[in-house]
Amino acid sequence: MGPLETTTVGRDAECARLSALVTATEGQPLVIQGEAGVGKSALLDHAAQEVLEQGHLVVRAVGVEAELELPFAGLHQLLYPLLQRSGGPNPDQSVVFDAVFGRSEDEPSSIRALGIAVLDLLADMSSEQPVMLVIDDGHWFDAPSADVCGFVARRMRSCRAKMVIALRADVTSRWEAARLPELQVEALPDAAAREVLDTRHPHLDPEIRSVMLDCARGSAGIDRAFQVRGGYRPAARDRGRRSSARYLSVPSP
């Protein structure tokens, strides 16, 4: 079982919800919300892989805390691949996008006007190839970008585009005002967490294994707990003896 497969261990319900989104004939948004390290990004990867296999266009963006105060930085990251495609925005859309992204001296349009331009662009693109927008760490999107994306997400039924956004439950963001459908991701069940850990790191010292399981919340949490300074020494089976693991530090959950 490879890393991509282990990311969905214990996530049957979540994967079923994402599959329903992917196969829906109309546009839909979905917010994936949960603690840091619980496995939200892994579920985004799963959804993206599923639509790619169906020939859809996937456009990804990742919120960055350093750009939180840069107006429309998140939206620019999300739309840039679409704006560069042949047959991209029409002249009217280009005027709106050029103003908001600083490529003209015109005043930026309102959130409503910009949202409509984005919807029109997605509708045009989706008429040729279904589009999924995948936003990780959306809580770090700047406020104007989140407002525009929320405006668009609430109206996605009018086109074939989908939008999936991963948000941390403990970080307040403008996405909350959008009132989008949510998928709450909880910590992995104990049995699933043990399966993931044993598959990825089968030679852990029992004591360290216990600590890892206590600290981890999901597949990402297991990896984060495992990536300690210095790591560990796996069992030296080829030397006919068991080497001791070197445990240095495990981050708090």
Q: Would you state the structure tokens that stand for residue 5, as one six-digit string?
A: 């497969």
**Residues 100-149: tens digit of each pLDDT:** 998 888 888 899 999 999 999 999 989 889 999 999 999 999 999 999 99
Between CA 169 and CA 217 the distance in angstroms is 13
According to the model, what pLDDT value does residue 187 have?
Answer: 80
**Cβ–Cβ contacts within 10 Å for residue 242, how many?**
12
- Residue pair 74/141 in contact (Cβ under 8 Å)? The answer is yes
Alpha helices, H only, 105-142: 111-128
**Cβ–Cβ contacts within 10 Å for residue 188, how many?**
24
Give the lowest-confidence range in 50-54, 138-142, 164-168, 241-245.
241-245
Between CA 210 and CA 162 the distance in angstroms is 40
Is the pLDDT at 252 greater than 50, yes or no? no
For range 14-29, the mean pLDDT = 93
**Residues 44-72: tens digit of each pLDDT:** 999 999 999 999 999 999 999 999 999 99
Is the pLDDT at 23 greater than 60, yes or no? yes
pTM: 0.77
**Cα angle, residue 12 at apex, residues 216 and 7 outer, rounded to 5°:** 45
Give the lowest-confidence range in 12-16, 72-76, 85-89.
85-89
2, amino acid identity: G
